[in-house]
Chains A and B, each alone.
Chain A
């Protein structure tokens, strides 16, 4: 029986690996479609990201004369890291054998690996915009990363574990409690999510003005399959972050270990949560304006302080 469960769990882990990679562009498409509706446009449809990916994969890759091998490997590294990150976050069931190998600190590490390689690749060609993007990306992340870590720490303190399945188990399946510390963490997390996924107010994913770019400035030199992988990785990153949000702050409905019968309901609930989160993101972006780049550290500093405050509240109140 135990072996059967393990095999099922491994199968499920592989299924989630496949699911996230296929579903991630859909989420991006949904967010874009919501934005279009809010701006009174008809929009390109939720399937547009897939069409873009297909188009990019079919094109010939063009890279600069002085591009080093680092430049060419980076899309694969970034894509691999994001894919892995999205696949180890429990959003349907907590049976994810691989999440034993990488806990929340390692998850933050995976994001860091992808970010560092992308920043290095941006500096590789030696264009003005590339290094500008790399510098800004590292600037945003040096405050966002510790804030994310503190959010995870608050959840870990509550659940006495740094493993995501245990955290979700503790939050979803044990006695229901209101955690004031988690409320602070949730606020901080929303800010981190916006910053790390290059959304308004920190960055604008649809910008065409190079001087205001962060993420887009880093990938200006990429084309075709490399660009496709990076775009796909961005979708996966957004998916991973929204998954983290679901796992930490809305874990109700994620099934416990071994309860495979509850799967259909869990999947339905997940889709609902994703739809709501995507729509919420679009609304938030519609009602906020982009910050000047030097306001961004203050914005992120707020997130960092909120997250630390959440942790302190946990220490004070024990909840």
Chain B
């Protein structure tokens, strides 16, 4: 390939330009919305596929570098495609392929003008995320980061005539910018005051910071990227913004955009800052654990299906942060094989989450289109009316619940193996922390299964809770094909972990200098350390379960009979059974709310037995909002009202200010 002189980075560059062209084309075609749906989005999906393939190609290649003749006079745009970027490009391409295919069907009901704009913003969003992954200097990075943030803000506020959505968008924009400032400051610390040319990542890699300043840079980066990823307590925007956006956008935001923050943390910690300190790892680990449990706990009590998924994303970000924390700890103590193991688990889980969360979010889009309802308490029984969506989302639900042999289980398995192998760290406090952390991870994983049973059971199973659900229609062909791609990816990532781990090894080698390898001799068994310690073979597992099931079915039918009768549900002979007697989403989450009561702010309106019109109302809110955010908001309001004291709107007062300032300056200077 090198003979022709084409590098992976060139290809990625063309694809990015093509995406921009598609976005502009969408804007130009707003009079012909069907063309946007039938031509632009499928072409965009094709571009995603090519991007993922280019990423796969770049993974094995040496890093490519490109300096563009754009940007600041002394700081042109630097691009670099190394294995870490390539890995996240695969993630971006793979997930957006499914989402773009889905979008081709999803946006058909939208008016032409809005659709043109959405198409432009959608493609700018994709371009922004791609450039974040490619940026090799701070300026380029921030430009791309802001492109990503702003385009996604406009996408979130697509339905801007609804006040809640405007509010959600504002909160998102605010926290995104607080985070961006922290990231910018972190870059500032890392360039160490060496002039504008030192803002390239290469200069940052070469700079040697004292441990104090590198800690400052790490903390700022953790804060900034944490705000984008939704790490507790910076998560408040996430459950507001994700449900507000159109479903394909929620899918991209949750599946891909959150991963760019993970990419940022990895890039800064392991690449730009040469050495790490052990307490960074402990901090990341602790924050990750809190985030994971917090996310899943709140997911369990949600009634809105997209909010539930948003909280579940917070949980998964927590798991990823735990993986990063472990990697830092192992890396600092020179346990390279273990660092590679936990890094592999982190990257694997990023990839998995991109696929299953995108699948679930676009699935909720189909449900929303079919029923116009986001509240799970008004859904139910959709498996009969939307069989395709039901089957495909079942795959996503089982994957995200971490069940073998799907992909969620593999990354969970790897992460738990990393915990199991950890004893022997020289710091005994960390040694004590590890089992507790493993227990918390296990708890979060078990709760995730609870959440997903609730999600799927309330939406798809049981009886329809509303009359209108009888007319729900299934996902159309385009929507279906996007979901099929994502579901297939979940299955493939689950069944062929050895291949995936081989690819991730290239990233680990580039990032922390050691890989995992595979101790087993054949490709069927995943054995990260050695075969005596642990091995897992999803393929044999699946074959065994299917074999046993088939055998049972044949035996039962052969030896006995296959007779079946349909009748009314038995329900212990209780005659007056209605759909309203099923568990609602709130009912299903009630035990969790009760067990973890101190963590929630619960408002409840319980009817007395004598009410003629009994009404139950319950609302579960986040205490952190009241503890952390409201005081800040009040303080800001107070300060700004103090500042307004200076404002009078009369010109002579302002002239007096100028005069006083001049006098003061003359006295001092």
Contact = CB atoms under 8 A, between A and B. Distances in A.
Interface of A: 57-58, 60-68, 70, 76-77, 79-81, 83-84, 98, 100-103, 105-106, 109-110, 112-113, 115-116, 119-120, 123-132, 134-136, 138-139, 141-143, 145-146, 149-150, 153, 156-157, 160-163, 166, 210, 220-221, 223, 225, 229, 294, 297, 304, 307-308, 311-312, 314-316
Interface in B511-570: 525, 531-537, 540-541, 544-546, 548-549, 552-553, 556, 559-561, 563-570
B192 interface: no
B434 A315 contact: yes
A100 B587 CA distance: 41
B451 to A, nearest CB: 9
B335 interface: no
Interface string B563-600: 11111111110100101011100011011101100000
Interface stretch (B122-130, B279-287, B415-423): B415-423
B335 to A, nearest CB: 15
B549 A308 contact: no
B450 interface: yes
A68 B435 contact: no
Nearest to A154: B435
Interface string B437-475: 011001101110110111011100111000000000000
B383 interface: yes
11 contacts: A62-B565, A76-B549, A80-B548, A100-B535, A113-B404, A119-B453, A127-B574, A142-B447, A146-B443, A160-B533, A294-B594
A66 B463 CA distance: 8
B545 A109 contact: no
B62 interface: no
Contact of B549 (A77, A131, A146, A316): A77
Interface residues of B, number: 86
B434 A123 contact: no
A64 B449 contact: no
A304 B417 contact: no
Contact of B552 (A79, A109, A223): A79
Given A112-B449, A145-B445, 7 more contacts: A80-B545, A130-B462, A139-B450, A145-B442, A161-B534, A162-B533, A162-B534
Contacts of B561: 60
Contact of B564 (A63, A103, A141, A314): A63
A58 B560 contact: yes
Interface of B: 380-381, 383-384, 390, 394, 398, 401-404, 409, 412-413, 416-417, 419-420, 423, 431-432, 434-436, 438-439, 442-443, 445-447, 449-450, 452-454, 456-458, 461-463, 525, 531-537, 540-541, 544-546, 548-549, 552-553, 556, 559-561, 563-572, 574, 577, 579, 581-583, 587-588, 590-592, 594-595
Contact of B537 (A101, A119, A153, A166): A101
Contact of A60 (B545, B564, B595): B564
Contact of B461 (A68, A150, A162): A68
Q: A-side binding surface: helix, strand, loop or mixed?
A: helix
B396 to A, nearest CB: 13
B569 A221 contact: yes
Contacts of B587: 131, 135
Contacts of B564: 60-63
A60 B540 CA distance: 34
A157 B549 CA distance: 34
Contacts of B572: 129, 210, 220
B545 A84 contact: yes
B401 A116 contact: yes
B582 A126 contact: yes
A126 B438 contact: no
Contacts of B420: 153, 156-157, 162
A109 B403 contact: yes
A102 B534 CA distance: 9
A314 to B, nearest CB: 8
Contacts of A102: 404, 536-537, 540-541
A304 B439 contact: yes
A142 B445 CA distance: 8
A315 B432 contact: yes
B453 A129 contact: no
A305 B390 CA distance: 38
A117 to B, nearest CB: 9
A138 B435 contact: no
A109 B407 CA distance: 12
Considering residues B417, B525, B583, which has the most beta carbons from chain A within 10 angstroms of its beta carbon? B583
Given A128-B577, A131-B588, A139-B450, A123 B583 contact: yes
A145 B445 CA distance: 9
A162 B417 CA distance: 8
A66 B544 contact: no
B564 to A, nearest CB: 5
Contact of B453 (A120, A162, A220): A120
A103 B541 contact: no
Contacts of B454: 138
Contacts of B457: 119-120, 123, 131, 134
A76 B453 CA distance: 19
A311 B438 contact: yes
Contacts of A119: 453, 457
Contacts of A221: 569-571
A315 to B, nearest CB: 5
Contact of A112 (B401, B434, B560, B563): B401
Given A64-B566, A126-B582, A135-B591, A225 B409 contact: no
Nearest to B579: A126
A36 to B, nearest CB: 26
A134 B556 CA distance: 26
B453 A116 contact: yes
A307 B380 CA distance: 38
A225 B560 contact: yes
A135 B453 CA distance: 9
A116 B449 contact: yes
A70 B383 contact: yes
Top 6 closest pairs, chain A to chain B, by CB: A126-B462, A146-B442, A126-B463, A131-B583, A123-B457, A101-B537
A79 B555 CA distance: 13
A58 B556 CA distance: 10
A32 B490 CA distance: 43
A127 B582 contact: yes
A312 B556 contact: no
A185 to B, nearest CB: 12
A106 B525 CA distance: 13
A74 to B, nearest CB: 11
A132 to B, nearest CB: 7
A161 B528 CA distance: 12
B413 A105 contact: yes
Contact of A103 (B401, B436, B536): B536
